[in-house]
């Protein structure tokens, strides 16, 4: 069966539309379906290439490997590269809803998302903390995990888009156990790792240093690791985050679980920015994404690098296949 992959084109003022315009569908073992405004995509083309004549997506047709088509969703108001407009927040969410619904009804076998701009969606009066949380809500998923990956490193997060002051309260035994079970299961399911080896970072500097720098590592994180290790999971930790990202440790792991967003992602993005991808684990659908934001400052200049989008599409195809 030829796979169909939905690609949401992201914030219309950002680089998402022009990244989609660079795609050469012949390089992928699937049919790619862009979800967005046809006129917008036509205006953001690069190197003389035009997307204005893309065939419309026909769900009744057979999927064709190497074909690029478009499922149209119209902008609420014209968009200009680099200039955010809250009036298009609903448009952005509609593209996501179209992809989610198509994945749930098996029209698409996976979805790939170009970057959105959280602040402008909130400016429109719509509460939105990120793709991960939105997808969880829309699919009624009780436990999802945000994981970024680049060749040689996977980093998953125990918490996602939270103010740093709220992170300690969110690290509970129940939440941590659920995250680790989800991570372990999906590494087996989607990445075919029979017995995943997971390093778990501590929350505090030096993993709490025996309680002198915080109690959470010894009273919350360590007991969960010991419990799940006794069940047969290969878990190591809690480890000081400042030393676990070193070659000797990384040579012994399939994924690292960090306690909060900026604990692990700076390391991963330094290692593979532009080629890294974002994967949401725990969903009933497959979703991958780019590792970067909307880059408003270069939108419309054709300087954006499509490497992360290309990697995200290849990963979605591999996971779906």
Binding site members for substrate: 131-132, 269, 278, 287
Helices (H) and strands (E) in the chain, counts: 13, 11
User: By CB neighbour count within 10 A (0-12 exposed, 13-18 middle, 19+ buried), where does 37 fall?
Assistant: buried
Q: ∠47-50-56 over CA atoms, to 5°?
A: 150
Sheet holding 3-8, edge to edge: 68-72, 30-36, 3-8, 110-113, 287-290, 277-281, 145-150, 153-157, 255-258, 197-201, 234-239
Nearest alpha-carbon partner for 22 in 317, 309, 287, 276: 309
The helix/strand/coil state of 171 is coil
Residue 6 β-bridge partners: 33, 111
- Known binding residues for a divalent metal cation are 161, 206, 261
Backbone angles phi, psi at 277, to 5 degrees: -135, 160
The helix/strand/coil state of 15 is coil
Tokens of 260: 């909060």
Q: At what angle do helices 131-138 and 89-104 cross, to 10 degrees?
A: 50
Tokens of 257: 């679980």
Please give the Cα distance from 65 to 53 (Å, whole number).
Answer: 19
- Known binding residues are 131-132, 161, 206, 261, 269, 278, 287
- Using CA atoms, how far residue 157 sits from 164, 278, 279, in Å, is 13, 11, 11
């Amino acid at each position: 069966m030829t796979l169909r992959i939905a690609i949401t084109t992201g914030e219309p003022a950002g680089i998402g539309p022009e990244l989609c315009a660079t795609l050469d569908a012949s390089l992928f073992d699937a049919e790619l379906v862009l979800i967005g405004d046809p006129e917008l995509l036509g205006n953001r083309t690069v190197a003389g290439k035009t997307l204005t004549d893309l065939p419309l997506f026909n769900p009744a047709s057979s999927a064709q490997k190497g074909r690029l088509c478009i499922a149209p969703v119209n902008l609420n108001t014209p968009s200009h590269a680099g200039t955010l407009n809250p009036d298009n927040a609903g448009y952005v969410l509609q593209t996501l809803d179209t992809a989610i619904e198509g994945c749930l009804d098996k029209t698409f076998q996976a979805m790939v998302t170009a970057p959105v701009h959280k602040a402008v969606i909130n400016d429109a009066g719509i509460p939105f903390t990120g793709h991960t949380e939105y997808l969880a809500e829309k699919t009624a998923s009780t436990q999802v995990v945000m994981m970024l990956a680049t060749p040689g490193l996977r980093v998953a997060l125990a918490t996602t888009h939270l103010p740093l002051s709220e992170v300690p309260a969110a690290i509970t035994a129940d939440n941590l156990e659920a995250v680790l079970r989800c991570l372990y299961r999906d590494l087996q399911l989607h990445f075919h790792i029979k017995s995943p080896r997971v390093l778990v970072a501590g929350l505090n500097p030096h993993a709490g240093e025996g309680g002198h720098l915080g109690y959470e590592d010894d009273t919350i994180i360590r007991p969960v690791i010991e419990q799940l290790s006794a069940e047969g999971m290969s878990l190591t930790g809690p480890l000081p985050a400042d030393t676990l990202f070193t070659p000797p440790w990384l040579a012994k792991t399939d994924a690292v679980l960090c306690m909060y967003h900026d604990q692990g992602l700076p390391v991963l993005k330094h290692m593979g920015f532009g080629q890294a991808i974002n994967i949401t684990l725990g969903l009933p659908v497959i979703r991958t994404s780019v590792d970067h934001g909307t880059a408003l400052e270069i939108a419309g200049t054709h300087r954006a690098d499509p490497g992360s989008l290309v990697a995200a599409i290849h990963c979605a195809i591999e996971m779906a296949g």
